[in-house]
Amino acid sequence: MPECNGWITTVDETAQFAPGKSRNEPTFVISDVGIENGAMYAYIIGGWADGYPGWIDDSLYVGEPKHVPTIGTFTLLDITTAQAVYGHGSATFCFEPDPDFKVSSTI
């Protein structure tokens, strides 16, 4: 497992992750959790409401960090796929905030 110098958290598929002191932004949604060609992945979309200066609309792959400007870096650590047809999977990732980003105390 990659080293994490931030917060390790698990988010259910389709749930929102709001790492900032404001409950409303920035927010991120994790979806489409799965395994493709042996690689675990989770799709992430979100950031500040206006889309700038920090926004991501991309797939996370295990061990590959993705930086969101002004917010921080997400590194996927593990996934759990849905256990039923209409169930939801989850993604466990490391969130390492940028130095000036004010992190919620409830992560």
pLDDT confidence band for 1 (50 / 70 / 90): low
Reduced DSSP (H G I as helix, E B as strand, rest coil) percent helix, strand, coil of the chain, to 5: 0, 55, 45
pLDDT at 12: 95
Helix (H) and strand (E) counts for the chain? 0, 8
Per-residue pLDDT of 49-83, as tens digits, reads: 876 789 999 999 999 999 999 999 999 999 999 88
- Phi, psi (deg, nearest 5) at residue 97: -70, 150
pLDDT at 3: 84
pTM of the full predicted structure? 0.92
